[in-house]
Structure 1
Amino acid sequence: MSTQVAPTSGSPSRMAQLRQVFFSSPIVAFASLMLLLIVLAAIFAPWVSPYDPTRLAPATRLKPPSELNWLGTDAFGRDLFSRVVYGARISLVVGVGAAVAAVLLGLAVGLIAGFFRALDAILMRVVDGLMAIPNILLAIAIVALSGASLWTVLIAITIPEVPRVVRLVRSVVLSAREEPYVEAAMAAGSSTWRILTRHLLPNTVAPLIVQGTYICASAILIEAILSFLGAGISPETPTWGNIMAEGRIYFQINPGIIFWPGLVLSVTILSINLVGDAVRDALDPRMAKRGIDR
């Protein structure tokens, strides 16, 4: 005879906690709105942008903002607003792609390292070796060996982020595997796959969501740095880093070439971090007990 435990009516659901956090803080609400606008602009870039971002117009080079060119033009006469909007596409693809790939790879390795003691020492030494190499240097080395492309940059940014996810998942699994319900499942003869997916995996969801937002912001910044240094995506592709790299020579003539993509880049990263903090507060049980007073 099975018994069912009714949900406690006094504890708010996760979605209710998220809504409370997002709408109770004006800063978080504004960051969410800005992030939504940037995402929508990237998705609907062909309809938002007034011009082709690669169209050359030497006669209108380095023009200040006007009714025809809202943010002015660059050294080749290309519309700066259109290039910034299309640059959001690359940045968001790299950010989201790196976050998803790093979380999935780190989750698999972290579960194995935390549950199987025999493999823990070997896997963690490899992880420690990767973490000893600075992210930028490792990414530049991978791009230099493989050539500049979107996929290469995505891989180069993902690899340095995986060890951080592995250590996070491993720490959660090491703590959760000592809980009575996990020990009871082991004693009952549950399969390893069932213990990992049914009992240990749910404990990693909340921290991984938060970690994923930070990885997304970090990946966007690293992609811009790589492009600015000339080690990222090819210069003809509009990215925020490429736009700023091309405009540094003409900064005194038209500072907007660096200012506008830099501003959008900063707003995007700040918004993602603020949203990540809000998600962390909503998913943290200790914050839920306090009523999430913000």
Structure 2
Amino acid sequence: MTQPTPTVAPRDHISAFKRARMIATSSPVVFVASIILMLVVLSAIFAPWIVPHDPIRLSPAVRLKPPSDVYWLGTDAYGRDLLSRIILGGRVSLVVGVASAIFAVAVGLGLGLLAGYIRWLDAVLMRMVDGLMAIPSILLAIAIVSLWGASLWTVLVAITIPEVPRVVRLVRSLVLSAREEPYVEAAIAAGTSTARIMRRHLVPNTIAPLIIQGTYICASAILTEAILSFLGAGINPETPTWGNIMAEGRVYFQINPGIVMWPGLVVSVTILSINLLGDAVRDALDPRMAKRGIER
């Protein structure tokens, strides 16, 4: 008598698109934040084709105009359409946010792996990290921009450097915990190279926390860029960014408050949407949070 062939339960595999849709629709607030963030990103990508007016054309005859059918958000002190400049300014602000998050996570991951796995490097690297964290991030960013001059790359470096220590400390704590696991100790006992252990056993444990940390870095970088531009220590004033628009309009705030309020509102809504989406990603990737949701 032949034994029946045991059936294997199908593996529960969720595609990246389906997982993203589940995160975006996890709650009405997160869904609205996802829609707002998608609109901001799409408007920044297609800015040259959707702006209603030339965002850099000077028109002194229509300077400081209030909102109207022609200029939906009014004009600035040089007669430029405010809505067009906000849409175009989103390109630079989003690039700064995303690029700073990528660079900070990449550098912090490498240093955190070294600090957490190689013990003699831990004390040296962490003392350097503690020294950087002792300096207020905005002051360090202003000092870097003042030293190297205002440009997109300078602002990226100035924003990325203060964020790296936070990523290093996060990765180091994860690696210190993971290296005590039996599978890592078994790999060490088997003579597996350090690079292979890091790549196959340690890095996968940091992916989910780094994705969450990256969203917060992106939001923080957008805010920092706006602060630097508002203080005159950011990107060249000729390049439209949300911070530059507010910096140029602060002198005329009493005449036309919208020059400062509208880009400030866009910055606030964008950062809030990124943070809400980051919280949703954290809940989706954290098994404990998912278990709480099932129990509820």
**What range is the shorter-chain TM-score in?**
over 0.9
* Pairing partner for 1:129 from 115, 128, 131: 131
* Number of the residue aligned with 1:272: 274
Higher RCO by CA contacts (8 Å cutoff, separation 6 or greater): 1
Alignment CA distance shift 1:202-1:210 (3 Å): same
2:178 corresponds to which of 171, 176, 179: 176
User: Aligned partners of 2:172 and 2:259: how far apart in 1?
Assistant: 44
Aligned partners of 2:26 and 2:280 also within 8 Å: no
Q: 1:191 aligns with which of 190, 193, 197?
A: 193
Specify the SS of the correspondent of 1:248: helix
Deviation at 1:51, TM superposition (A): 1.5
Q: Are the aligned partners of 2:37 and 2:274 in contact in 1 as well (CA < 8 Å)?
A: yes
Partner residue of 1:209 out of 204, 208, 211? 211
| Structure 1 stretches lacking a partner, 5+ long | 1-5
| Whole-Å separation in 2 of the counterparts to 1:24 and 1:184 | 39
Instruction: Write the distance in 1 (CA, Å) between the matches of 2:44 and 2:21.
Output: 25
Cα distance change on mapping 1:127 and 1:42 into 2, 3 Å: same
Q: Cα distance 1:293–1:30, how it changes in 2: closer, same or farther (>3 A)?
A: farther
Partner of 1:153: 155
One-letter code aligned to 2:262: W
Which of 22, 36, 50 is the equivalent residue of 1:48? 50
When the two structures are superposed, what TM-score results if normalisation uses the length of structure 1?
A: 0.94
Alignment equivalent of 1:65, drawn from 55, 64, 67: 67
C-alpha separation between the residues in 2 aligned to 1:289 and 1:283?
11
CA distance in 2: counterparts of 1:223 and 1:8, whole angstroms: 48
Q: Which runs of 5+ in 2 are unaligned?
A: 1-7
Distance of 1:209 and 1:249 partners within structure 2: 39
Q: Is the 8 A contact 1:112 1:120 kept in 2?
A: yes
Partners of 1:282 and 1:292 within 8 A in 2: no
Structure-2 separation of matches of 1:130 and 1:37? 36
Deviation at 1:53, TM superposition (A): 1.1
Aligned length: 288
Q: Distance in 2 between matches of 1:43 and 1:256?
A: 24
Q: TM-score, normalised by structure 2?
A: 0.94
Identity %: 74
Q: How far does the alpha carbon of each residue in 1:180-219 deviate from its partner, in whole angstroms, 9 at most, with x for none?
A: 1111111111111110000000000000000000000000
Deviation for aligned residue 1:22: 2.3
Please show how residues 230-269 of structure 1 align to structure 2 within 5 Å: 230-269=232-271
**Correspondence 1:22 to 2:24:** yes
Which deviations, in whole Å up to 9, do the C-alpha atoms of 1:218-248 show, x marking residues without a partner?
0000000000000001111111111111111
Deviation of the 1:7 alpha carbon = 7.5
Matched residues in 2 for 1:27 and 1:293: separation? Answer: 21
Contact 1:17-1:288 at 8 Å conserved across structures? no
Change beyond 3 A, Cα 1:7–1:181: farther
The farther-off stretch of 247-256 and 11-20 is 11-20
CA displacement 1:70-100 (0-9 Å, x = unmatched)? 1100000000001000110110010000000
1:165 aligned partner, one-letter code: V
User: Quick one: distance in 1 between partners of 2:260 and 2:89?
Assistant: 13
